[in-house]
Amino acid sequence: MQAHIISLLVENNPGVLTRMSGMFTQRGINITSLTVSPCEKEGLSRMTVAIEGSESELEMVRKQLSNLIEVVKVVDLKESEAIIRDLCLLKVHAKDSEARSEVMQLAESYGAKILDAVLDSVTLELTEEPKKIDRFVDLMRHFGVKQLFRTGVTAIGIGAGTGVGVEK
Amino acid sequence: MAKQKLSGAEIVVEELKTEGAEVAFGIPGGALLDLYDVLYKEEAIRHILMRHEQCAAHAADGYARVSGKAGVCIATSGPGATNLVTGLANANMDSSPVVALTGQVPTSVIGSNAFQESSTFTITMPITKHNFLVKRTEDLPKVIHNAFYIANTGRKGVVLVDLPTDILAGEAKVDLHPKETFAGYKPNIKPNQVQIKRVVETLANAERPLILAGGGVISADAAVELRHLADFLGAPVVTTLMGKGAIPENHPFCLGMAGMHGQLYANRAINECDALLALGTRFSDRTTGWQLDQFAPDATLIHVDIDTAEINKNMQVDIPIVGDVKLALSGILKLLEKKRAKKSGSEWEKRIKKMHSACDSCVEEISREGASVSDILIKEISRILDDDAIVTTEVGQCQMFAAHYYMTKKPRTFISSGGLGTMGFGFPAAIGAKIAAPDKQVVDIAGDGSFLMTCQDMATCVENDIPVVVCLFDNRYLGMVRQFQELFFDKKYAQTGLGITPDFVKLAEAFGCYGERVEKPEDLKDALNNAFKSGKPAVLDMIVGKEDKVLPMIPPGGSITRMIGTERCKRI
């Protein structure tokens, strides 16, 4: 099992999300995160899907995705060739002023923004690589994480190119 | 052309005509009143009123497989649409071009559990190549055109268009007959020339080349090219179930169907070949057996398929070609002819001739070597029917008897449910086949279990004068499952005995069909003649051995190298 990121360019039609996710469901592949948003071309959306699976499963699902009528392009983004980001919002428990300042210090060292602070909690935002966020969240668990929200990964190929992929 | 103001239903019918739809199989309903109101006046489209929506889909499927044109079926919202599902899944699995139109509740109440509402769009998503839920009347010209375009191009398949009543009733000013525009659908049909060169290199140097022809050969109308290549290479041809008819089965290079219920020597040839050219097939487990390392172990595997997703899906291949089989075969032939002269008289060719005659004589002599009644009946049917007769099959033993012993001579004349294995398919598919080819004999090779699933459409045949003949293998069992219980579950026949079954002759007569009981194989010829002469749809109730078995076979989980029940096969 390996983590993979698939970036899809799809027509922005109702049902396209169901159609796409159905492909994974039919193959018993679990989607670990999914983001959908408009992109540079009108009428098209970009989906970034993180999945876990073997190389062969990935190859099959990639081909089957590109068979979907509304899928314009499928790119298999490799970690080494992509910039990958996840946005995390979390509310951390701060039982006293000492804990609060410690949380704020650690947040600063990770480059997290402090969005809100009240007597017994601090709300933070961190946009980073997923692994770094994982580490940060683990650290914050020490103080007590009251709420955690993550957008799921979005990713872009490095350099001028668009990454290794299937242009239909 | 100036924009025309038309109702949604009028647009649908106009576009159907433009797409060349001459016939539609369907059942109306509340959500389709507007559409049927237009069809009522329309003379260019013949509507066949079916008695169950599943049959409408199977008939459209059968029509498509015989004619090569997309078949059209129509069903109303809710239960009409859900009844279509099996038929659509079946057509899509076998890459048969079908366009389904379904009624839907008005857009204003979609999602409210309105009367006869089902989410047809989401239900049919995984069993169609594509589907549409139309939300604006002005979108209809494009949607209907795109539906046919998608169904008919690339790897063919099913496209469903869900039509809410207000969209059909509403009016819009539209341009009819638009051109297709897709952001992301470019069916890849031209094979890569570099790959073709690699294939030619391999085939030219192969000592024991073999061609495995799948349904893609028939779908691409590439039977002529296939024969040329086989002749030129001196290469034998084996087929899949879907590929039956890609080459005449009495051709000296044809070894018949390979796989689980295939011919012993078709499977042997796969074992022995050193280059395997697989054409338009997906290497289903029914063809390869379950131990893939024992499938063509010594061969360079070449795979030509129009669907990229089939490459390396079930079998890892050495040389893939993505593209239309017909184009690929012409490309291969052209280069090969330049490269070397026609090969003949090789050791391999001699071996193939022996294999061919071993299979052939096994089939010919079957009536003398302790064969079952079922075996003999299929041979009889094969002998009696015209060369261009169309045979459809139900699913199970009857299907595999037919696949094994029926000698198919032309493409598009053996119509069977390959991928989904749908009992009840053969009879409605025969209806579609007869509409597509009214001058040909159309025979459904049926089992009593399967036939009872869709036999109500005898009413359709009688009403619309569609004289198909059902040759019913009557063993009062769900025979294939019973066979498996006999062979692999200590003869515990759990729920496979059908007990008291109807008197099929009387049943046929009750519908207004011709019915006759065939007690002995030697009576079949007269019975078939009587059936054809009656000019009516007919049911021949053929009494077969209750425990007849389809043999030889590869046991489930087994390898293509080890068939069981080969005692009757000739040794060479």
With CB atoms and an 8 Å threshold, state whether B308 touches A66.
yes
B196-224: per-residue pLDDT in tens?
999 999 999 999 999 999 999 999 999 99
pLDDT at B521: 94
Asked if A63 is an interface residue toward chain B (Cβ–Cβ < 8 A), one would say yes
Which H helix or E strand runs over B272?
helix B264-272
- CB-count burial class (<10 Å; 0-12, 13-18, 19+) for B490: exposed
Distance between CA B221 and CA B241 in Å, rounded?
Answer: 16
pLDDT at B257 over 60: yes
**Local confidence band at B47 (pLDDT 50, 70, 90 cut-offs):** very high
pLDDT at B180: 84
Which H helix or E strand runs over B234?
none
Contact status, residue A77 vs residue A155, Cβ threshold 8 Å: yes
Facing residues of B210 across strands?
B276
Asked if A17 is an interface residue toward chain B (Cβ–Cβ < 8 A), one would say no
Domain B373-543, CATH: 3.40.50.970
Cβ contacts of B133 on chain A, cutoff 8 Å: 14-15
Contact status, residue B162 vs residue B122, Cβ threshold 8 Å: no
With CB atoms and an 8 Å threshold, state whether B184 touches A73.
yes
Place of tokens 């009819």: B176
Amino acid at site A90: L
CATH topology classification for B4-174: Rossmann fold (3.40.50)
Place of tokens 């899949």: B240
With CB atoms and an 8 Å threshold, state whether B184 touches A11.
yes
State how far residue B386 is from chain A, nearest Cα, in angstroms: 40
Sign of the Cα torsion B352, B355, B361, B364 reads negative
pLDDT at B569: 81
DSSP B455: G
State how far residue A129 is from chain B, nearest Cα, in angstroms: 31
Cβ contacts of B129 on chain A, cutoff 8 Å: 69
Q: Choose from A10, A42, A65, A67 for mutation: most chain B CBs within 10 A.
A: A67
With CB atoms and an 8 Å threshold, state whether A19 touches B309.
no
Q: In chain B, what is the greatest distance between 2 CA atoms, to the nearest angstrom? A: 73
Candidate from B180-189, B473-482, B491-500 with smallest mean pLDDT:
B180-189
Asked if A73 is an interface residue toward chain B (Cβ–Cβ < 8 A), one would say yes
CATH architecture entry for B193-355:
3-Layer(aba) Sandwich (3.40)
Token digits for B386?
């015209």
pLDDT at A166: 46
- Assess whether the previous peptide bond of B502 is cis (omega < 30° from 0): no
Q: Choose from B130, B159, B161, B322 for mutation: most chain A CBs within 10 A.
A: B130
Q: How many CB atoms lie within 10 A of CB B353?
A: 13
pLDDT at B412: 98
Cβ contacts of A59 on chain B, cutoff 8 Å: 312
Cβ contacts of A56 on chain B, cutoff 8 Å: 312
Cβ contacts of B125 on chain A, cutoff 8 Å: 15, 18-19, 22
Cross-chain CB nearest to B185 (options A14, A64, A69): A69
- DSSP H helices, B344-467, are 347-364, 373-384, 397-405, 426-436, 448-454, 458-464
Cβ contacts of B186 on chain A, cutoff 8 Å: 168
Distance between CA B135 and CA B162 in Å, rounded?
Answer: 9
**Local confidence band at B362 (pLDDT 50, 70, 90 cut-offs):** low
pLDDT at B347 over 50: yes
State how far residue B266 is from chain A, nearest Cα, in angstroms: 30
Asked if A27 is an interface residue toward chain B (Cβ–Cβ < 8 A), one would say no
pLDDT at B570 over 90: no
pLDDT at B341: 79
Average pLDDT over residues A151-158: 92
pLDDT at B366 over 70: no
B523-535: per-residue pLDDT in tens?
999 999 999 999 9
Contact status, residue B330 vs residue B304, Cβ threshold 8 Å: no
State how far residue B88 is from chain A, nearest Cα, in angstroms: 17
Q: Provide CB contacts within 8 A for B83, sequence distance 6+.
A: B52, B53, B54, B75
3-state secondary structure B500-524: CCCCHHHHHHHHCCEEEEECCHHHH
Exposure pattern of B531-567 as b/e (b: 16+ CB <10 Å)? Answer: bbeeebbbbbbbbbeeebbbbbbbbeebbbeebeeee
Cross-chain CB nearest to A60 (options B183, B185, B313): B313
DSSP B154: S
pLDDT at B500 over 80: yes
- DSSP H helices, B125-263, are 140-152, 165-169, 193-205, 215-219, 223-233
3-state secondary structure chain A: CEEEEEEEEEECCCCHHHHHHHHHHHCCCCEEEEEEEECCCCCEEEEEEEEEECHHHHHHHHHHHHHCCCEEEEEEECHHHEEEEEEEEEEEECCCHHHHHHHHHHHHHHCCEEEEEECCEEEEEEEECHHHHHHHHHHHHCCCEEEEEECCCEEEECCCCCCCEEEC
Distance between CA B542 and CA B505 in Å, rounded?
Answer: 10
B397-451: per-residue pLDDT in tens?
999 999 999 999 999 999 999 999 999 999 999 999 999 999 999 999 999 999 9
With CB atoms and an 8 Å threshold, state whether A71 touches B311.
no
Cβ contacts of B182 on chain A, cutoff 8 Å: 69
All domains of chain A in start order, with CATH: 2-77 (3.30.70.260), 83-153 (3.30.70.1150)
pLDDT at B370 over 80: no
B61-108: per-residue pLDDT in tens?
999 999 999 999 999 999 999 999 999 999 999 999 999 999 999 999
Query: Taking the CA of residue B364 as centre, how many other CA atoms within 13 Å lie in the half-sphere pointing to its CB?
Result: 8
Token digits for A139?
């650290």
A19-72: per-residue pLDDT in tens?
999 999 888 889 999 999 999 999 999 999 999 888 888 889 999 999 999 999
Asked if A44 is an interface residue toward chain B (Cβ–Cβ < 8 A), one would say yes
Cross-chain CB nearest to A64 (options B133, B150, B309): B309
With CB atoms and an 8 Å threshold, state whether B126 touches A22.
yes
Mean pLDDT value across chain B: 95
Question: Coil, helix or strand for B118?
Answer: coil
- For chain B, the distance separating the N- and C-terminal CA atoms, rounded to the nearest angstrom, is 70
Query: Taking the CA of residue B57 as centre, how many other CA atoms within 13 Å lie in the half-sphere pointing to its CB?
Result: 33
Token digits for B348?
């391999």
Cross-chain CB nearest to B122 (options A18, A26, A60): A18
With CB atoms and an 8 Å threshold, state whether A71 touches B126.
no
Cβ contacts of A47 on chain B, cutoff 8 Å: none
Contact status, residue B63 vs residue B23, Cβ threshold 8 Å: yes
Cβ contacts of A19 on chain B, cutoff 8 Å: 125
**Local confidence band at A164 (pLDDT 50, 70, 90 cut-offs):** very low
Contact status, residue B101 vs residue B73, Cβ threshold 8 Å: yes
Torsion of CA B82, B87, B89, B90, to 10 degrees: 160
pLDDT at B372: 87
pLDDT at B3 over 50: yes
Contact status, residue B418 vs residue B438, Cβ threshold 8 Å: no
- CB-count burial class (<10 Å; 0-12, 13-18, 19+) for A31: middle
Q: Nearest-CA neighbor of A51 among A64, A40, A42, A39?
A: A64
With CB atoms and an 8 Å threshold, state whether B150 touches A14.
no
Cross-chain CB nearest to B125 (options A19, A60, A64): A19
Q: Where are the beta strands (DSSP E) in B30-70?
A: 46-49
Q: Nearest-CA neighbor of B326 among B302, B303, B306?
A: B306
- Domain ranges, ordered by start, for chain B: 4-174, 193-355, 373-543
With CB atoms and an 8 Å threshold, state whether A70 touches B186.
no
B271-323: per-residue pLDDT in tens?
999 999 999 999 999 999 999 999 999 999 999 999 999 999 999 999 999 99
Asked if A64 is an interface residue toward chain B (Cβ–Cβ < 8 A), one would say yes
| Residues in chain B, total | 572
Average pLDDT over residues A98-110: 96
pLDDT at B536 over 90: yes
Which residue from A minimizes the CA distance to B134?
A: A14
- CB-count burial class (<10 Å; 0-12, 13-18, 19+) for B348: buried
With CB atoms and an 8 Å threshold, state whether B184 touches A26.
no
3-state secondary structure B301-368: EEEEECCHHHCCCCCCCCEEEECCHHHHHHHHHHHHHHHCCCCCCCHHHHHHHHHHHHHHHHHHHHHH
Q: Choose from B125, B185, B188 for mutation: most chain A CBs within 10 A.
A: B185
Amino acid at site A3: A
